[in-house]
Amino acid sequence: MPQRDDRVSRRFGKLPDRLWETLGRNPGRACEEVLTKFFEARKRGETFPPFPASPDSGKPRTVWLEPEISKELDAVADATRSNFTSVLLAAFRYQLGDEAIQPDPDDQSGPPRRQGPRRKTIRTAPESYAFV
């Protein structure tokens, strides 16, 4: 991808589709605003619940961020030992509430299923074969 206005590309994992749709025409700017407010709150010493995990449904997204915000994102992710997606979801939860990061209630996809043949059932030996 080409460079955009001295911005840095950040790839996030799966984000809820409903959340992405609420960000409007310029989701990158909305992400920057939410992350900036979240980072300022962290610097003030506010406490937060544990970072949320990425949802099972949704699409991975790429967002272009200002270099300062990208560096701060790196620092927070390293300090908390979490990924960029969890930090972004925590920022949205801080700004918009828990409902914002919940998957769409109509989504019935569930967790990903293992592909390929089913695993064989492990059978145990009868007790009469047990060693004493």
pLDDT tens per residue, range 29-50: 899 999 999 999 999 998 888 8
Q: Where are the domains of the chain?
A: 8-103
pLDDT tens per residue, range 57-66: 778 888 899 9
Question: How confident is residue 73, by pLDDT bands cut at 50, 70 and 90?
Answer: very high
Predicted TM-score of the model (pTM):
0.71
**Of 18, 7, 14, 2, whose CA–CA distance to 88 is shortest?**
14
CA pair distance 6, 97, nearest whole angstrom: 31
